[in-house]
Amino acid sequence: MSNLVEGKNIVIMGVASERSIAWGVTTSLHKAGANLIFTYRQERSYGKLTKLLDKHNIEAKLIIPCDVASDESITNAFNSIKEKIGVIHGVVHSVAFANREELKGEYANTSREGFLLAHEISAFSLVAVTKAAKELMTEGGSIVTQTYLGSERVIQNYNIMGVAKASLEASVRYLAEDMGKYGIRVNAVSAGPIRTLSAKGVSGFNEKLGVIEKKAPLRRNVDQDQVGDATLFFMSELSRGVTGEVLHVDSGYHIIG
Ligand code: NDP
């Protein structure tokens, strides 16, 4: 796997800590030879990211802010990438948000504002980022987002985020059709539950981990590295015939009734 994405310029959005799925993706892509560009939202995440990069001896080609709630911020981020890097070959979208108080209890209690916010940050952002990234993907490319089974099935407490993930996965398919003619593929990885900062916001998260250990075919939980390697597959030529796909990296849990 050492040169699967050698020399490719890949943008990673969503490292907030060592536990972030985007950090697992970072280590996989780094080992496979990619040039990495990072975006972050909060200053705190910037601090964590730079420390992690130092600790693991990974050199970032560029680190820039990008708040996907703002069109201007997305435009500025991709303009900076264009100016300082030029052509890009991949984007890893690993970003989501919903109000914590709506990640428990009944979905029926979701507020209008909370519904719109979850969709804006967790689904529309992929659309806006794809549009901006396309301009820099003049040699073709690959865009990968991170989703979860709560889009397909009712998973207790996941609520509005499940509905936003359904929108995200449908967006993957529509964007795959749009982007295909430019040689750009769009796919999603649907990871099993992994303990991260965002996961902590979902009520009863620890119970989900226990269910996987008991019921999933592989009888164990997945980790960030496994999601990272699946994302690497989508970033590399190994997946050149695949677009519009949602690949489950969940120890097979989704096949169990
Ligand atoms: P993290 O909390 O580590 O990462 C979430 C990231 O989203 C953070 O880097 C955060 O940045 C970013 N983010 C939130 N709002 C915005 C915004 N407005 N603009 C830009 N970035 C923003 O959690 P995960 O690694 O778990 O989450 C990454 C993705 O993986 C999400 O899409 C999540 O739904 C998905 N996923 C997670 C699973 C899990 O069990 N953990 C399972 C399946 C999918 P900042 O902190 O700087 O605000």
Low-confidence ranges of the chain (pLDDT < 70): 1
ipTM > 0.95, yes or no: yes
Could you give phi then psi for residue 96, rounded to 5 degrees?
Answer: -160, 155
CA of 48 to the centre of ligand 1 (A): 14
Which residues are near ligand 1 (CB < 6 Å)?
14-17, 20-22, 40-42, 45, 66-69, 94-97, 121, 146-148, 191, 193-194, 196-199
- Report pLDDT digits (tens) over 99-121: 999 999 999 999 999 999 999 99
Domain residue ranges in the chain: 9-250
d(CA 112, CA 39): 29
The predicted pLDDT at position 39 comes to 98
- Report pLDDT digits (tens) over 120-142: 999 999 999 999 999 999 999 99
CA of 93 to the centre of ligand 1 (A): 9
Nearest to 186 by CA among 243, 232, 147, 129: 243
CATH (residue range 9-250) = 3.40.50.720
